[in-house]
Amino acid sequence: MASSSLSSPFLQPHHPLSTKSSNRSNPPSFLRPIKASISEKPSVPVPPLSLAAHQPPKLPLRKIPGDYGIPLIGPYKDRLDYFYNQGRDEYFKSRIQKYQSTVFRANMPPGPFIAPNPNVVVLLDGKSFPILFDVTKVEKKDLFTGTYMPSTELTGGYRVLSYLDPSEPRHGQLKRLMFFLLKSRRDHVIPEFHSSYTHLFDTLENELATKGKANFGDANDQAAFNFLARSLYGSNPSDTKLGLDGPKLVQKWVLFQLSPILILGLPKLIEDSIFHSFRLPPFLVKADYQRLYDFFYDSSGFVLDEAERLGVSREEACHNLLFATCFNSFGGMKIFFPNVMKWIGRAGVKLHTQLAEEIRTVVRSNGGKVTMAAMEEMALMKSVVYEAFRIDPPVPLQYGRAKRDLVIESHDNAFQVKEGELLFGFQPFATKDSKIFERAEEFVGDRFMGEGEKLLKHVLWSNGPETESPTVGNKQCAGKDFVTLVSRLLVVELFLRYDSFEIQVGKSPLGSSITLTSLKRASF
């Protein structure tokens, strides 16, 4: 979803320190002090860290190492290495060592027969990576999923916002629409999150009591979908024809878009020959998508009215709202919330106690209410969320096509890129760059406290640096501040209710699978 340069779109609804639902009659508080999510004017893009940006001292110019291999065979071999023979991280690490460079040429999946041209220039350090955000130098058209683009039959026949370059007129219209949605529903975010995630924790406690463990993922999926529907559209899915089916319909629909670049856990021969070599036919998910579309069309009348005012048809707007809510926002919560639980859970009781003490102290000093202003006082909580974004960004792959001949710098060399070449960055390597972050591979909860805040410009999870805001003129996530807000709310709700928790971590196609084995209720 979206953001920009005005003050924050979120007013400050609140709820008591207790775990009971908030009083909806309380008036909204003042605007939150953190930077905003709404803008009608594009801002000037931040210049990339390129050779032209700072001439002295000049780095040695080096030819980009690596090659693409024999057509069809080279991309196919690289795909097998990426998914099976080496795995994603080792695929990149081995080539860094081989070429002694964090910039090199390689093929990115899926390759044949889905992506006709899988050739990319790989950027794997925190200095070269930011050029992918500079829309004066790279084009982002149809590159949301990388070297291939899913069929528009999966999005009603429209190229939705995520696939549009800022130079396209529709981009500005649709991004303004997302800003409007966020601003219009700002009062509902905190109370609806409290309501939805109180139910989630009740569910997890009951499952723990009966089974001795609880699956966080399934409960989180339902809570996240309900929260988004209620907070952004004022509609409770269980009161509609959609019922409780929303999360499973979204997951099936997303599978049809992302299966070429996912590991699904199937036998290698089946998975690679079917899901990585051919597109799944959209008609198989058409009926499921129609159910989602009908729900959003019926729930978003006030946004569709605004769309028509902006010059966008109600139909096109609804497909974009569905994508932004289900793919971007729900997908983000589905991937990132388990990551937050993983890293905080692994950090142990000491960090849990520090978070519980800070969060409860601040909430009590603010009259027992969770507000945007109160959360701004929680320095450790904010740092923990930023650190989770740094070490495990929810969207790890970024792409951009060079608009002209460019010179790109890593820490050690400069490289010439030709107009039209596709640049690819693997975000977790850029945000774990040891030349920027100390103990880069470790989760350090207080990393961004005090002087550490200066490092936030290197936290890049949102298709832009953390220190910048989304505008109609850039490709930074329209809901950047919204995602940050709900991620903070998860940590706040968790430690208002519990002193500590224990987990088991597994893998899933979209990230981590979290099983809770213990929840210790608040004792102070």
Tell me which amino acid residue 523 is.
Answer: S
C-alpha span between 79 and 88 (Å, rounded): 10
List, in order, residues 6 or more apart from 92 with CB less than 8 Å away. Answer: 122, 124, 426, 429
Give percent above pLDDT 70 in the chain. 89
Q: Mean pLDDT over residues 424-446, rounded?
A: 98
What is the residue-wise DSSP string for 289-331? Answer: HHHHHHHHHHH-HHHHHHHHHHT--HHHHHHHHHIIIIIIIIH
**Cα 127 to the chain's mean position, in Å?**
21
Cβ atoms < 10 Å from Cβ of 57: 5
pTM of the model: 0.89
Beta pairing partners, 406? 417
Q: Are 103 and 408 in contact (CB under 8 A)?
A: yes
Residue 520 near residue 501 (C-beta atoms within 8 A)? yes
State mean pLDDT over 139-149: 98
Beta-carbon neighbour count of residue 41 at 10 Å? 11
Of 139, 60, 63, 61, nearest to 105 (Cα)? Answer: 63
**Whether the predicted pLDDT of 270 surpasses 90:** yes
- In eight-state DSSP terms, residue 368 is T
Residue 227: half-sphere exposure toward Cβ, Cα within 13 Å: 29
Peptide bond into 327 cis (omega under 30): no
pLDDT the model gives residue 57: 55
* Burial class for 166, CB neighbours closer than 10 Å (0-12, 13-18, 19+): buried
Over the stretch 87-121, which tens digit does the pLDDT of each residue have? 999 999 999 999 999 999 999 999 999 999 999 99
Please say if the pLDDT value at position 43 is more than 80.
no
pLDDT of 242 higher than 80:
yes
CB 31 within 8 A of CB 481: no
401 phi/psi in degrees, rounded to 5: -105, 130
For 47-80, what is each residue's pLDDT tens digit?
A: 443 333 444 458 999 999 999 999 999 999 999 9
Cα torsion 434, 335, 36, 10 to 10°: value is -150
Sheet holding 138-139, edge to edge: 103-107, 119-123, 422-426, 397-402, 138-139
List, for residues 333-375, the tens digit of each pLDDT value: 999 999 999 999 999 999 999 999 999 999 999 999 999 999 9
Going 254 to 259 to 262 to 266, the CA torsion angle's sign is positive
pLDDT bin (cut points 50, 70, 90) of residue 40 is very low
Q: Which CATH class is domain 61-521?
A: mainly alpha
Per-residue model confidence as pLDDT tens digits over 469-490: 999 999 999 999 999 999 999 9
Pairing outcome for strands 498-508 and 406-409 = unpaired
Name the DSSP class of 61.
Answer: B
Measured CA distances, 433 to 97, 125, 173 (Å): 15, 6, 36
C-alpha distance from residue 481 to each of 421, 442, 478 (Å): 32, 25, 8
